[in-house]
Structure 1
């Protein structure tokens, strides 16, 4: 573990992608509504034998193009409104619809006045304007409702895809955990240590190590349907792994600093395993000095903060590839979106720390 990986997200890019995904459907819906409106109003005018049909049709065509432009502007404004909470977005969308109806009414009256087409006697102008405004208000409200339905449907679709990706990532994370921790090198060293203990007739230590290895393999290979576990279970998994490493390397010293009330906090399964393995691998074990690893958890407002700290011998420290860090960060992104923090790097001359903060929840499930 040699580099620092900041937890950066770009909400603007996500909103642009969401807007691009619904734009074709919104465009077809908008053009279809205005085309249907144009045809119905034009046919009703012909059936009613109204005067100046050609002039009215030309004006109506221009107002239709203007109305499409209004809808495009509304679409752009709506996409600037945060999608959650949905109720607030719906209220603001419908407010825009009423404003658009009023603007279209003014354009309609201005166009008729410019063309010199009479609509009604002067004394009925206000009443007629109210009726026309009501018509356009219902039209733009219908457009707004359809826009909200399209946007919400797209959000559900993307969320479903994201959940599917989380499920796939969970299975892949389990496989990565096996490749990282239950690899031939780890098993070979463990079996070699067991052989040495048996040959030295240190049967009690050998039996303890076999028990720890058995428990660790059972927990690591257990097939869970949900990509979620409690902090207590995750720490138990790490404790088993570290006890095996301590048998092989007695100089390892493990400190736990866990707030008791956080034991039921949820987090993705196997999240800490690559980080703890790296702390052991790149620590200063074998140097003759105490190699201390500290795992801490605390509540930080509405977040669960986890820190894994290890000592290392600065002059001879082995450089890692950063693959474990990158995989953990991607796992967090898939599970929590942009609602997490992740950083890793030296915090002193001989200390390396990985810090992550995730939403604090006492039940499994993505935030």
Structure 2
């Protein structure tokens, strides 16, 4: 267990970017196209059916005219769409008059196109005499027709904007959660460095320069793995225990009599845990527990057990009968573990500590049992 694997790293921003795609925008455009096509298609089909039932004398010409009018209607709707895009996110008190005026112009234009097209379809002469009441009766329904399309258009638009906003909020929540986990993970490094430099300093003061040099080399290898490990991705329990075994071998340079006991059932080796979750507990076990015991009596044990749907990891150590058991200091390590468990699993995981008879101390982590892919 001298070597710890270097695990694949994926940054927070890569995780968030994975959710950003043009899929939602393409769905929005497709929905608007379908809406407009169906709107005019059903309108044209209804009028063509009326021509068919009326036994129109020039049905083929009338059909071509209906299709031409549908194309004109689609073009006018596209024009209103471009106006709405140009207005962007302006307040509705500014947009409403412009949209109403655009619908009025579209209705007037379409009414004249309809008049000339139907006159052509029937083979009748064109009469340009303008009757005010007829203009109003013609303009009002077409204006409402285009306003109805605008209403449906905006409903679809706002529906997709709401979905996009929901997706952005979910991405931001994910990024915030991942950033918090990263901050908690990187909090381990100065805590670990402080303890490690104290150990190196103690070896130098004891005149054990070769041991100090060996410890520095092991620390360099350990930190290479630490920096390459992504705190956002769970690793297997076997890998996590291997990392802690490497750390304890480093500490054995300072405490040659330190006994390491690891009880990890093979079936639980693939259980998923946050990377370096056990690091603060093992550090405390060394510095404030086993490190205070005289020669020949220091030991640290990592024990893993399984309950239905649950994983229990115990870090136990010997301690001085009269001194601290492994919980003195600033409690930074314990807070870190509790915060990481809370942010990762919520109330579904917990850390408990207890002093046991026969000069023993135990820290117990309980969390849901899941396996790495």
1:299 Cα deviation after fit? 1.9
Residues 357 and 160 of structure 1: CA distance in aligned 2, closer, same or farther (over 3 Å): farther
The question of 1:330 aligning with 2:336 is answered no
Displacement of 1:210 after TM fit? Answer: 4.5
In 2, Cα distance between equivalents of 1:279 and 1:171: 24
Counterparts of 1:153 and 1:356, CA distance in 2: 39
Task: After TM superposition, list the pairs within 5 Å mapping 1:1-367 onto structure 2.
Answer: 162-183=173-194, 185-190=195-200, 193=203, 209-224=215-230, 226-289=232-295, 290-317=297-324, 319-363=328-372
TM-score for the superposition, normalised by structure 2: 0.49
Change in 2 beyond 3 A, CA 1:197/1:257: farther
> Shift of residue 247 of structure 1?
0.9
CA distance in 2, matches of 1:239, 1:310: 14
Distance 1:186 1:362, change over 3 A: same
After superposition, what is the alpha-carbon deviation per residue over 1:277-331, rounded to whole angstroms, capped at 9, x for unaligned? Answer: 0111111425424111110112211111100011111312273443322221121
1:108 equivalent in structure 2: none
> Aligned partners of 1:167, 1:232: CA distance in 2, in Å?
23
Larger mean Cα displacement after TM superposition, 231-240 or 340-349: 340-349
State the structure with more CA Rg.
Answer: 2
The unaligned stretches of length 5 or more in structure 1 are 1-151
The alignment of Structure 1 onto Structure 2 pairs a total of residues equal to 210
User: Are the equivalent residues in 2 in contact too, given 1:251–1:285 (CA < 8 A)?
Assistant: no
Q: 1:206 to 1:164 in 2, by over 3 A?
A: same
Specify the alignment match of 2:18 in structure 1: none
Q: Distance in 2 between matches of 1:292 and 1:198?
A: 22
Tell me how far 1:173 sits from its aligned partner.
Answer: 2.2
1 CA distance for matches of 2:180 and 2:340? 7
CA gap 1:265/1:236 in 2 versus in 1, 3 angstroms: same
> Shift of the alpha carbon at 1:343?
1.1
- Give structure 1 regions of 4+ aligned residues with deviation exceeding 4 angstroms: 152-162, 194-199, 205-208
Q: How far did residue 254 of structure 1 move?
A: 1.1
**SS in structure 1 at match of 2:322:** helix
1:354 partner SS:
strand
For residues 328 and 225 of structure 1, the distance between their equivalents in structure 2, rounded to whole angstroms, comes to 13
CA distance in 2, matches of 1:260, 1:322: 32
Contact preservation (8 Å) 1:303, 1:357: yes
